Amino acid sequence: MTEENYTRYEKARLIGARALQVSLGAPLMVEASARDEAIDIAKRELEADELPLTVKRSEKRGLPRFPKV
């Protein structure tokens, strides 16, 4: 799923969740130097469409819906 299809709330949640993973030692999906902070790495991963996360949205009837990638 490309970055433009996410709402601003989804972007904030994705960046925050991925930054936490990176800070706890998760493998990186983009190149990074030792000086880069976890939040910056997460933002670059989102921009590069390399986030290893899935967004789960619900339809009006309450059924889960996974947006097409």
Delimit the domains of the chain by residue range: 3-65
pTM (two decimals):
0.79
pLDDT digits 0-9 by tens, 19-65: 999 999 999 999 999 899 999 999 999 999 999 998 887 776 666 76
How far is the C-alpha of 24 from the C-alpha of 42, rounded, in Å?
13
If phi > 0 it is left, if psi is from -120 to 50 it is alpha, else beta; for residue 28 that is beta
* Residue 64 burial (C-beta neighbours within 10 Å; 0-12, 13-18, 19+): exposed
Q: Does domain 3-65 have CATH number 3.30.565.10?
A: no
Check pLDDT > 60 for residue 1: no
